[in-house]
Every structure is written in C-alpha cells, then in structure tokens.
Chain A
Amino acid sequence: MAAVVQLEDIHKIYDSGEVQVHAVRGVTLQLHRGEFMAVMGASGSGKSTLMNTLGCLDRPTRGRFLLDGVDVAQLDRNELADLRNEKLGFVFQGFNLLARTTALENVELPMLYGRRRVGAREMRERALHCLDIVGLSDRADHFPSQLSGGQQQRVAIARGLVNNPQVLLADEPTGNLDSKTSVEVMGVFQQLNEQGITIVMVTHELDIARYCKRNLIMRDGSVVSDIAVTNRSIAEDEMRRLREAESAAKLTA
C-alpha cells in the first residue's frame, strides 16, 4: 500500500540572520493509511517543526515530502493552502475555535475555503454529520464559550474531519484538558482511527501516547525511536474504569 505521507531526509533550518537553528536534521519516515502515530519529545526537539511541515504550514529547507503522492516542496502559498484544505485536518492544543460562532459554523469553516463550491445545505449536512461522529450533534447551535473544554476539542475534531482529510494532525490535543476529558478525547481519536482515518498527534504525555499505535520520539531534530505500541490503552476501558472508581468513591463517601 502506498504511503499517505512520505518524508525523505527532511531538514529545516531557521535562519535568523546571525544564528542558524537546525530544527529538524534529516528525518525520514513513512506513514500509511490507518496509522495512529504519536510524536513525542522534549521542547526544542523539533517535533513542532516536524508537525508544521507535515501540516503543510511550512516547507522543509531540504528533503522530499510527498503528501498523498504530491510533492509539497514545489507548491506555492495558495497551493499549500488548498492542500491543507483538501487533505489535512487540524486539531490544536488551544482548540482554536472562532469565538461567538456556533459549533456548526465552526465545523463549516473549512468548506467555505474549499476550491469546490459547496451549497449551504450540503455544508450544513456534512457539518452536522461530523458533529454527530464526535457526539455533539445536540450542541450544534452552542457557542464555544457555552461548551466544556472536552466538547470544544471535539468540535475542533469535527472541523478537522469535515473535508474528509487524508491525515488528521493534532498538536497536543489533550494539553489543555484534565485527565478524564483527555481520555474522552482519545476515545474519539481511537474511534475515528478504527474507521480508517490516519492520525498523527504531538504529545509529551506518555500515558496519552499509549492510546496510539505508533510512537515516534525525537531529540535534537532527529528521530531517536520509532516503535509500535505494545500493551495499548483502550479509551473505552479506561473510561469504564474511571466511572466505576467515581461511583465507588460516591458510595464510600
């Protein structure tokens, strides 16, 4: 099976005049359809730069990056934007939903910028469908400020899904969430992954990484470890355990 993402000897050098920062030093990796990978590393390890490259927000200084067979290095600003729109979904640590804009409209946002015109009704149907996938169809008319952190992140995931991306990229999606909500969000990711969606997420929490299928560890701009996860955590089981623990606490209290 052809790789969805193919990185070959990727380098990224930030040149701020006098100092050159070599953020990524020769990363080569392949990502196949249906994978669920966590990228880990200390801050400054180059994981964010790698994610920006994967997200087509930034072009590598050197190396080859094929996304779904398209060589990203050759594209200009607008073509990159189109690629992000069609092939990628983004989930951010800070949710990054538009304030005072309903959940539904937030999910519709990527369709507004698609090169293919989508009618208002189709837009609404697809957005509602995606909200349904993350279990929030009953909150479509709520504003982000009326939603909990976990719900906001699920709206953001729905937004990431709405254009049927090849890869869903998540940058510390549980960074702003408490542990229970984190498990809930990881549950959504696992469920999506089971439906065949390729997911790459950055995290620095080991227990969160264990919900993924593959862990990539970076240090000083290089990949130091790339292993399949054994003894994987299953969010559903974890949730059940948490619920039991909660009710037990109430019983004994």
Chain B
Amino acid sequence: MHLASTFTISFRALRRNAMRSILTALGIIIGVGAVIAMVSIGNGAKSMVEAQIAALGENVLLIFSGSISQGGARSGSFGAGTLTVDDADAIQREVGTVIAVSPEVRTGAQVLANGLNWSTQILGESADYLGIRQWPLSDGTMFSEADTRSVGKVCIIGQTIVTQLFPDGSPIGQTLRIRNQPFKVVGILSAKGLSVQGADQDDLVIVPYTSAMKRVTKQTMLRSINVQASSPDTIVKAQNDIIALLRQRHRTNEQTDDFTVRNQEEIAQAATATSNTMTLLLGAIAGVSLIVGGIGIMNIMLVSVTERTREIGIRLAVGAHGSEIQVQFLTEAVVLSAFGGVLGILLGIGASEMLSRINHWPTLVSSTAVVVAFFFSAAVGMVFGFYPARKASLLDPIDALRYE
C-alpha cells in the first residue's frame, strides 16, 4: 500500500473524531510544551550564570586566604589572614605569566554624603582591578597607581551608591565620608546588576587597597588577591606557579596550605554544574507528562481499534495484510503524537517567551530541545501505538466482520 494513502487514511480517521484527537494530543502538547519551557528556563539560567562568570573578568585567578587551626578551633574561610601585600608583590614580580595583580581588602561601612548615609561594602583594590574584572566606568576615571602609593583619599563608586547618596547631580569631584575619612569620587562604575545569588553588585565603593588598609580597616591582611594571567593557555601554569611561590613564602605544603587558588574555569564549572542539574531535573519532570500523554494515546488507540473492528474486517476481507493494518494504526498514533509535538513546541516557545516577558526570567529556547522533543513525541506515538496496532493486525477477518 502506498505511503500517501496510509497517511490519507490516518488523517481522515483522526479528523472524523476531531475533538477526541485534539484532546488526546493535548497530553502530548502539554508534555512537549512543558519540556521545551522547562529546558528554556534551565538554559536561560545557565547562560546568565555563564555571563556572570565571564563578568568576573578575563583569565582571572583568585587567591583566597584560607583557614587556620589554633588550639583545635578552626577559623572560617579568609580567617587565616595570611595573605599580605608582599605576597601580591612577589606574585607580580616572580610569576612571568601574570600580567596584573590587585590585592583585595573588603569591609562593610557606613558611608555619608550630602547629608545622606548608606551602609555598603568597601573594596580596597589596585589600579589594575577594573582591567582584571573587565568592568568599565560609566563616568570619570579610575584612581591611579600613584594614588595607591600615596594612600590617596579617592574612590570610585557603584551605581547604587550614586542613587542612594547623590540623588541629584553628578557625584564626580564630590566628597564621600567613610568612617569619617573624606574620599573624593573620581569615577562611577557601569551598572552590573544582580549576581547569581541575587546580591546587588553595584552596591560598593572601591578605594585604593593601601587607603583601605590604613584609613578604613586599619589591618594589614588581605582578604584575597585578584590575578590576571596573560592568556587562557597560561592560566594553569600561572596557577601552579603561584601555588609554588606561596608555599615557599608561607612554608606550607598541600596539607597545611593557608590559601586557595581558584581559576575562573573551576568557578564556572561549579556554577554551570548546578544549572545543568536544574535543567535536567526540570526536563525530567516535564518528561513524565510526555509519558502520561503517551498512555493517553495508547488508550484512545485501543478504543479506536475496538470501534473500528468492522472497518478492519472489511479491509482484511478485501485483501489487506495484517502488517498493513498495523502500519495504518501506527501511522495514526504517530501522526497524532507528532501533531501534538508540533503544537507543544509552539506552546513551549510561547510559554518561555511569556515567562521572560512577564517574570523577567531569562529563557533560552534550545533548538536541540525542540528537535529532540519533536522526535521524542513521534517516538512516544510509535511506542504507545504499537500495542493497539498489533492488536488490530491480529484480528480474524470473520470475527471482525461479524463484530457489532
């Protein structure tokens, strides 16, 4: 029998019970739609994470001061306070693959300006910091190396500080007080938005690290050191060299290290692993509804076979082979589920679009997911249509013709 007539017969049979066909396909429509939408949400989250990891900067290595154990009590991360400016200088001087270093000091403080006050985070960094983080200024200039050397009272501020403390007019050149120390605003950072964890990345003031240590925290230890390697290929070498150098300087070994070095790649992997797990989980849950849709198809196909027993009998009587009857019912199931698949894809894309418009969730419709969902829905029809089709093909023509 021609493939074309098989399809014609299937379409006709499905159209005859249009309402029933649509309701049956609804299971697949919702299933496929859910898979597409869920995977889009997962992918959107993943791409956002990736963008934020990229926002860490280019070829960045982070050296954290680790924990130390004193009399059985272990300090938490950053507790050791063993990283020093000398360490940072040594890295800059001795590790050839490192092109920029920024020692980091971090503290919270109440900041005052224009008679307003705001509790924010104070970052002490070197002049290279913005280059390492690939973070452009929206206005003004970055403080210079000279400012770092001279423990200058200058700062650059994030967008949140602008809104909170300088509601009218440009803050450039104005003074801002941190723990009663006046700092002149020389630059404004461009907006970065929320971090993966939902923290406001624009709520900060950056001052030279020397100024932060001498004027604000009054401490000599660093929280961390930001390092930029010369290229992606040298990151691993730089990482190993830094570890070797610091072990030598701190007289530690693998067991007693009081610092950790992370490269951007590791951070990215950890973050995307989370979102990959989420995507998989969402997809799997949605996939269950596809299975349920498939069972719906099987159910309706069984009803259809029973209802059309006489038709099957006629076809067998005029010379249809069992296999042709089987192919016909299988085609019907596959047409039904593939039709549901196409509508489901549209529904899924529409739903993702709506989620990103209304809830401002980042969604990313994956073409792989669309193709996989379509073939999977067709396969669902194939699998769940097989039993009813087989049942139809095994009917005895005499019994089928007599069926009332």
Contacts and interface: CB of A to CB of B under 8 A. Distances in A.
B398 interface: yes
Given A98-B314, A100-B16, A101-B12, A92 B319 contact: no
Contacts of A114: 319
Interface string B370-387: 000000000000000000
B397 A86 contact: no
Given A57-B397, A101-B12, A78 B314 contact: no
Contacts of A98: 311, 314
B317 A113 contact: no
Contacts of A78: 321-323
Nearest to B394: A77
Interface string A59-79: 000000000000000000110
Interface string A2-27: 00000000000000000000000000
Contacts of A85: 318-319
Identify which of A109, A110, A112 gathers the most chain B CB atoms within 10 Å of its CB: A112
B317 A84 contact: yes
Contacts of B316: 81
A96 interface: yes
Contacts of B323: 78
Nearest to B6: A112
A81 B398 contact: no
B122 to A, nearest CB: 80
Nearest to A97: B314
Given A81-B316, A90-B318, A113 B1 contact: yes
A117 interface: yes
A85 B324 CA distance: 14
Contacts of A84: 317-319
Given A90-B317, A113-B318, A113-B319, A96 B5 contact: no
Interface in B247-280: none
Given A112-B2, A117-B2, A81 B321 contact: yes
B87 to A, nearest CB: 84
A52 interface: yes
Contacts of A159: 318
Interface string A143-184: 000000000000000010000000000000000000000000
Contacts of B2: 112, 117
Contacts of B313: 96
Interface string B1-20: 11001000000100010000
Interface string A119-149: 0000000000000000000000000000000
B319 A81 contact: yes
B354 to A, nearest CB: 39
Interface residues of B, number: 22
A35 interface: no
A159 B319 CA distance: 12
A236 interface: no
Contacts of A58: 398
Given A81-B321, A85-B319, A159-B318, A112 B311 contact: no
Contacts of B318: 84-85, 90, 109-110, 113, 159
Contacts of B1: 112-113
A105 to B, nearest CB: 9
Contacts of A81: 316, 319-321
A220 interface: no
B322 A86 contact: no
A162 to B, nearest CB: 9
A227 B322 CA distance: 39
Contacts of B401: 57, 92, 96
A85 B319 CA distance: 4
Nearest to B323: A78
B315 interface: yes
Contacts of B398: 52, 57-58
A159 B317 CA distance: 12
Nearest to B13: A100
B317 A57 contact: yes
Interface in B27-75: none
B310 interface: yes
Nearest to B317: A90
Contact of A113 (B16, B320, B397): B320
Contacts of B314: 96-98, 109
A82 B321 CA distance: 8
Nearest to A109: B318
Contacts of B315: 109, 113
Contacts of A97: 314
Nearest to A58: B398
A56 to B, nearest CB: 9
Contacts of B16: 100
19 contacts: A55-B317, A57-B317, A57-B397, A57-B398, A57-B401, A81-B319, A81-B320, A84-B317, A84-B319, A85-B319, A90-B318, A92-B401, A96-B314, A97-B314, A100-B16, A101-B12, A112-B320, A113-B318, A114-B319
Report the 8 A-B pairs with minimum CB-CB distance, sorted nearest first: A85-B319, A110-B318, A113-B319, A113-B320, A78-B321, A81-B319, A96-B314, A84-B319
Interface of B: 1-2, 5, 12, 16, 310-311, 313-324, 397-398, 401
